[in-house]
Structure 1
Amino acid sequence: MIGGLVAIGTLLVAGLIGVLLRRRDGRVRTKNTATVPDDVRAVLDPRAEVTLVQLSTTFCAPCRHARVILADLADKTDGLAHADIDLTDRPELAQRLAVLRTPTTLAVDSQGAEILRVGGVPRRESLLAALRPHLSA
């Protein structure tokens, strides 16, 4: 009897954690305008108002999906560019950027300030809505 109750309790806790994690996935969070490290500044497109910097790892399946969304969004939006940084062999950069999961997308303005970040696969419409104030077009 007690084993059954423990199993049911465990399933409820695991289900609640799953729901909470799913709700956070792809949510746009605005950041303070801290300047990003030089490793990130090196990949910024100097012609773009905002560069979407995707932080990925080699064996990350959701990273491929995020790459398709971000590249397409950058291709179809004036003033927006997309770059990718592989963190597989760069744990020190992941630590400096406080990246806890991949994919993580940073939106960085032309001065190198992080304006927002998305953990997980970004939701196209909410990301675009958050970027509009930072794009002139």
Structure 2
Amino acid sequence: MTGVWALLGALAVASAIGVLLKVREGRIKQSSRSSAAADLPAPVRELLTPGVTLVQLSTTFCAPCRHAKVVLRDLADRTDGLAHAELDVTNLPDVAAQLGVMRTPTTLALTADGTEVLRVGGVPKRDTLLEALRPHLGAQPA
């Protein structure tokens, strides 16, 4: 009987963890970081463009990264002042660590001067992300 209770307890813990991860998926965090481009790792600094750049940090075998790429590229193509760039951090763990990235995909919205506006862990929700970016964009999507 003890084995049954242990199994039920393990299932309950696993379910709670699964629900927590699902709730956190795609959540946008407004950033309080006020760093300059000089503080960013060189591979990230090289990706910055005028306006806001969505820097997607991915890894080689990350399936959600492909979905995030589709969402972010479409949003950038339809929105003036917004660019998308992807950085594979599979072989750049120091870059991920310096940016405080614990999972992929993680998307950073960075201004041309390197200020982090927001970050998203997981696949972002297009409309929610656009709404969060509006105050930082000069023009609206077409």
TM-score band w.r.t. shorter chain: over 0.9
3-state secondary structure, aligned to 2:48: coil
Instruction: State yes or no: 1:72 paired with 2:74.
Output: yes
Selected match of 1:99 from 98, 101, 104: 101
User: Percent of pairs identical after alignment?
Assistant: 60
Task: Report the alpha carbon displacement of residue 125 of structure 1 after superposing the two structures with TM.
Answer: 1.0
Deviation per CA, 1:63-108, whole angstroms, max 9, x where unpaired?
Answer: 0110000000000011100001110110110110111110000000
The unaligned stretches of length 5 or more in structure 1 are: none
Structure 2 residue runs without a partner (length 5+): none
Runs of 4+ aligned structure 1 residues displaced above 2 Å come to 33-39
Match of residue 5 from structure 1? 5
The 3-state SS of whatever aligns with 1:84 is strand
CA distance in 1, matches of 2:104, 2:134: 24
- SS of residue matched to 1:53: strand
Counterpart residue type for residue 126 of structure 2: R
What is the root-mean-square deviation of aligned Cα atoms in Å? 0.9
Letter matched to residue 86 of structure 1: D
- Offset at residue 31 of structure 1 (A): 1.0
Name the counterpart of 1:111. 113
In structure 2, distance between residues paired with 1:119 and 1:41? 20
Residue 37 of structure 1: aligned partner:
41
- How far apart, in 2, do the equivalents of 1:45 and 1:133 lie? 17
